[in-house]
Structure 1
Amino acid sequence: MWRLMVTRLCIAVPMLVLVSTATFFLGILSPIDPAEFVLGPDPSQEQVDLVRKEMGLDRPVLTQFQDWASGALHGDLGRSLFTDEPVARLLVQALPVTLSLTLGGLVVSLLVGIPAGVWSGIRAGRAGDRVVTGLVTIGQAVPHFWLALLLILAFAVHIKIFPAVGYVSISRGTGQWLNSIALPSIALGTAGGAVLARQTRSAVIGVLQQEYIRTALAQGLPRRRVVFKFALKNAAIPIVTVIAFEVAGLFSGSIVIERMFSMQGIGSLTVDAVLRRDPDVIQGVIVVAATIMILIQLALDLSYAWLNPKVRPI
């Protein structure tokens, strides 16, 4: 396992460097001049040159990249053009919100998807399986924003159990934190739970048709023990793959949900940075997102090695 982790980290570091480098130079190639954007409409050339000099944009591109990379290695990702706050501080403030929604959506997906998929797979072809399959299809078809609107209308406006907007940090109390992320987590995790249920069902059906499962059942082992001790472990690899993609999708797909629930997470920060043409913030968001995606891939590879020793390096 350790050898596999070291190997994947040796691959991940160059990937992160490549993404960071590409992000920086794509920002340089942008036709939008940050100095002109900051000054507003119809600035004089003298004003533009002065602002470009203050921002360091008049220096050679390689010098700018060297300074940015050196700062990034020390945790300095630049400053926002509009708020003049350090990008690292903005990311630290926004990241817990998005991670909380991602975690909440993942918990909802797991609680819904795996039990429903196992139950449906064991009863494949029966009436209960058809009902679950129909519900899963509906769950996949429902858009996040539409479900979020229904949840707000039902549980925040009429019943008034959960707040309609806002995020409460976990430092202010676990109960308040859970209360603030409940509705967005359900809106985010429902579709993912439907996908996970479908994949779990298919994996369980495939494993239950294997000879060793039939042999274990023929020897008189309890069906529940055979399913949960032998079948699920061998069906876990495709399920874990779906979970990894689900985490990546939840992290990147929280933009709309954050906007609807007025939460200042990575998604909202990204949208604001793009609309404002704030280059350092955009670069910082991409670097953080790439790091998280690489870590998700690393966790996926390690889970493969734990579930199936054949994929471990010799």
Structure 2
Amino acid sequence: MTVVLRMVARRLLLLVPLLLGIILFVFLVMRFSDMDPASAYFQGTNPTQEQLHEFREENGLLDPLPVRYLDFVGELVTGDLGISVLTRAPVWDQVVTALPLTLQLTFLGLGIAVALALPLGVLAAVYRDRLPDQLIRVVSLVGVAAPAFWLALLMIQYLAVDRGWYPTGGYINPEDSVSGWLNSLTLPALALSMPVAAQLTRVVRTAMVEELDRDYVRTAVGSGLPPVVVVGRNVLRNALINPLTVLGLRVGYLLGGAVVIETIFALPGMGKLMIDAVRNGDPAVVQGVVLTTAVGFVLVNLLIDILYLLVNPRLRSAT
């Protein structure tokens, strides 16, 4: 337990420079982008140059770049993501409103991907080079090649428009109707999860094949242990390291893919919030959404690192 706590503490310390680097990158990208908070503030009117200059001066937009960066970091430390120049509302309030839906969509898609990939990958490895393995490999290859937005459009056409099994878009709060909530997120989560499930299936299969070829598996089966017990108790656990790595990286894909999927299905999440902010030229909202997503991705990968230690005791002993 002491070793585990020491490794977790080390990971937490490494998060500090990583987060500072992310903040610096987002800050520089937004400052050198074409978005002008002054122009967005006076959107729909014809401001004079004096009004634009006065707005920039009042909001510190004319300060030297290092000063603006330190102010930006200081605001983030206090939990302040800035003020939207369009709605005049704190960005944090808008993020808190939109974030739950994106998290629901992301983790529902993640759950579907794991539920599909784990049994399919194990089945393909156990029946290596036979018909089940060949079929699963073909289907997973198609799934990897198919983009999520294309799958979303196909699902809307065939499952929502033609058959009416699911709504074409919109969101129902689970507090109003659990079945309606699940119905409104099923197609978006499926479209988002299919490429991840396909890639994860291939990774699980490869990892399982490598483990099944090891000497301890032949020894365990030769000593009379049922193959199901050997695969379930030993092989699968040792083979989960590589899939966990891919899973942690794919969370970033799911969070990023939610931007497109939420737009297609008209879901009021982080993706739609950022698209609207980009369209309206609201840099504070854009950088707030990007920073929140990046921090979430980093924290998920920290969780994956901790899961490494729980899944494979050899990592703890090696450390």
Q: Aligned letter for 2:296?
A: I
Identity between Structure 1 and Structure 2 (%): 37
Kept after mapping to 2: 8 A contact 1:166/1:261? yes
Deviation of 1:37 after TM superposition, in Å, equals 4.3
Matches within 5 A, 1:96-175: 96-175=100-179
Distance (whole Å) between structure 1 residues aligned to residue 30 and residue 196 of structure 2:
33
Is 1:46 aligned to residue 50 of structure 2?
yes
Deviation of 1:25 after TM superposition, in Å, equals 3.6
Corresponding residue of 2:205: 201
Corresponding residue of 1:256: 260
**TM-score, with length taken from structure 2:** 0.91
Per-residue CA deviation, residues 193-225 of structure 1 (Å, 9 max, x unaligned), is 111111111111111110110011111111111
Per-residue CA deviation, residues 1-55 of structure 1 (Å, 9 max, x unaligned), is 2111111111102211222133224433345532134435874321211222343
Per-residue CA deviation, residues 107-165 of structure 1 (Å, 9 max, x unaligned), is 11111111111011000011121111111112222221221122112222233222111
Question: Structure 1 residues 149, 31: CA separation in 2 closer, same or farther (over 3 Å shift)?
Answer: closer
Kept after mapping to 2: 8 A contact 1:233/1:307? yes
Per-residue CA deviation, residues 59-98 of structure 1 (Å, 9 max, x unaligned), is 4444443443333222221111111121001111111121
**TM-score, with length taken from structure 1:** 0.93
Corresponding residue of 1:4: 7
Q: Aligned letter for 1:91?
A: V
Q: Aligned letter for 1:3?
A: R
Is 1:81 aligned to residue 93 of structure 2?
no
Number of aligned residue pairs: give it: 314
Kept after mapping to 1: 8 A contact 2:159/2:165? yes
Kept after mapping to 1: 8 A contact 2:125/2:208? yes
Deviation of 1:272 after TM superposition, in Å, equals 2.1
Is 1:70 aligned to residue 74 of structure 2?
yes
Kept after mapping to 2: 8 A contact 1:16/1:287? no
Question: Structure 1 residues 278, 2: CA separation in 2 closer, same or farther (over 3 Å shift)?
Answer: same
Distance (whole Å) between structure 2 residues aligned to residue 286 and residue 158 of structure 1:
36
Partner of residue 237 from structure 2, selected from 209, 226, 233:
233
Distance (whole Å) between structure 2 residues aligned to residue 132 and residue 65 of structure 1:
50
Kept after mapping to 1: 8 A contact 2:148/2:257? no
Q: Aligned letter for 2:138?
A: G
Corresponding residue of 2:18: 15
Deviates further, 154-163 or 197-206: 154-163
Deviates further, 152-161 or 99-108: 152-161
Unaligned runs of 5+ in 1: none
Distance (whole Å) between structure 2 residues aligned to residue 23 and residue 185 of structure 1:
28
Q: Tell me the SS of whatever aligns to 1:170.
A: coil
The Cα RMSD (Å) is: 2.0
Partner of residue 36 from structure 2, selected from 25, 33, 36:
33
Corresponding residue of 1:268: 272
Distance (whole Å) between structure 2 residues aligned to residue 215 and residue 69 of structure 1:
57
Question: Structure 1 residues 28, 164: CA separation in 2 closer, same or farther (over 3 Å shift)?
Answer: same
Q: Tell me the SS of whatever aligns to 2:175.
A: helix
Q: Tell me the SS of whatever aligns to 1:134.
A: helix
Deviates further, 47-56 or 72-81: 47-56
Kept after mapping to 1: 8 A contact 2:148/2:192? yes
Q: Tell me the SS of whatever aligns to 1:305.
A: helix
Distance (whole Å) between structure 2 residues aligned to residue 226 and residue 240 of structure 1:
20
Per-residue CA deviation, residues 151-198 of structure 1 (Å, 9 max, x unaligned), is 112222233222111122233343222111101111111111111111
